[in-house]
Amino acid sequence: MPRIRPEIEPLKPYLGGPGIEEVARLYGVRDVAKLSANETPLAPFPEVQEVIAAAAADINRYPDLRCVDLTEAMSKAVGVPGEFLWFGAGSSALLTNTARALGGPGRSFVYPWPSFVMYRVNAALGGAEAVEVPLDETHSVDLEAMSEAIRADTTLVYLCNPNNPTGTYRTQDEVRKFVEQAPEDTVVVLDEAYVEFVQAESSSQAVSMALERPNVVVARTFSKIYGLAGLRIGYFIGQPDTLYSLRKAQIPFTVNALAQTAALAALDFPERMAERYEMNRRGVEQLESAFEDRGIEYVPTQTNFIWFRLGPKTSDAIQALLERGTIIRLMIGEWTRVTVGTRAENDKFLADLGRVLAEV
């Protein structure tokens, strides 16, 4: 038997659930709505698909390790010099690199819980003690409790805003106050994977917090509103010295050439991003008002997913939904999460949910 590191042994491999084709095959359903992973339901823009196809001819070469073209374009888009950017194979790769760089025996990581499942995995991979801070009674990140949980040995804090899986949001003033209280030698990762969907405030100040403080970095991704989840690309924004230190834990050449080309092309369509934002908000309204009509408890969302209470038979209901072709996977106790889909996918989910709740 392999002698797995003791801190890794209790983890379950991240195997994910069945995809669209597999569900169709397994349960003999033609119409499948995958509402389990918070992806956008829309295909990448046609122009982006074209550059991906064209870039295929050059993939006998290793990708540009320094992501030069993308860095230049992002630097303009985000308004920071290129040295303040670090790309990874999805922001989750960067979150993991950060854990590898900052973990080790006698160190702790603080993060909210429930939150993004990779924080828990990263604490184990980083060999650090996990300090999980429960959400408050409104399913929101409890920033006061997070501040109190930071100890002298805390080298890393993950702060997910809006929070996955609950969709709750802390204002920029609240986040700033938290960041100001954090010790200067504790890295605070402001994970903004869903920032483009936020309605509560018109803009995030996380980047300016990172520019002001060497211990603050911002994590963002092309996997959500940009529609590039399958290519794996995300980025950190932070001060060059901080990013330089964290990069020591990075595996080289993981940001592939197609991902770099596609991300660069995707930046050209801000007006279509606005359309996607609007479409998502319409979907949120559709689902939230359906939950309200049916008396289903839910948490109002600032994202492209909704946390709702499925009840004591959550796991049976999720399985029954799967057999009807609606994929929602994650659950914690009586609660689960559904990703906002297209109008047709949301209709299917609501129809299937109605039938399943009548049966289980």
CB 24 within 8 A of CB 325: yes
Q: Does 98 bind ligand PLP (CB under 6 A)?
A: no
Q: Does 167 bind ligand PLP (CB under 6 A)?
A: no
Residue 80 to residues 11, 73, 86, 250, 309: CA-CA distances in angstroms?
38, 11, 12, 22, 41
Cα–Cα distance between 242 and 187 in angstroms, integer? 9
Residue number of the CB atom closest to ligand PLP: 90
Tell me which of 33, 36, 38, 210 binds ligand PLP, using CB under 6 A.
Answer: 38
Tell me which of 36, 40, 71, 92 binds ligand PLP, using CB under 6 A.
Answer: 92
Which of these segments, 16-24, 180-188, 203-211, 221-229, binds ligand PLP (CB under 6 A)?
221-229
Cα–Cα distance between 132 and 112 in angstroms, integer? 6
Residue 193 vs 198, nearer CB to ligand PLP: 193
Residue 260 vs 356, nearer CB to ligand PLP: 260
Measured distance between the N- and C-terminal CA atoms of the chain, rounded to whole angstroms: 42
Residue 193 vs 287, nearer CB to ligand PLP: 193
Q: Does 155 bind ligand PLP (CB under 6 A)?
A: no
Please give the distance of CA 189 from its chain centroid, rounded to a whole number. 13
Q: Does 175 bind ligand PLP (CB under 6 A)?
A: no
129: region left, alpha or beta (phi > 0 left; psi from -120 to 50 alpha): beta
Residue 221 vs 254, nearer CB to ligand PLP: 221
Q: What is the footprint of ligand PLP within residues 240-279 (CB under 6 A)?
A: none
CB of 359 vs ligand PLP, minimal distance in Å: 30
CB 67 within 8 A of CB 260: yes
CB of 3 vs ligand PLP, minimal distance in Å: 29
Tell the residue number behind the tokens 């106050």, with chain if given: 177
Q: Does 280 bind ligand PLP (CB under 6 A)?
A: no
Q: Does 229 bind ligand PLP (CB under 6 A)?
A: yes
Q: Does 166 bind ligand PLP (CB under 6 A)?
A: no
CB of 90 vs ligand PLP, minimal distance in Å: 3
Q: What is the footprint of ligand PLP within residues 104-133 (CB under 6 A)?
A: 116
Which of these segments, 28-36, 87-95, 135-143, 179-187, binds ligand PLP (CB under 6 A)?
87-95
Q: What is the footprint of ligand PLP within residues 1-30 (CB under 6 A)?
A: none
Tell me which of 44, 90, 167, 341 binds ligand PLP, using CB under 6 A.
Answer: 90
Residue 102 vs 320, nearer CB to ligand PLP: 102
Tell me which of 35, 121, 150, 160 binds ligand PLP, using CB under 6 A.
Answer: 160
Number of residues forming the site for ligand PLP (CB under 6 A): 13
Tell me which of 36, 97, 155, 164 binds ligand PLP, using CB under 6 A.
Answer: 164
Which residues are at the interface with ligand PLP (CB under 6 A)? 38, 90-92, 116, 160, 164, 191, 193, 221, 223, 229, 234
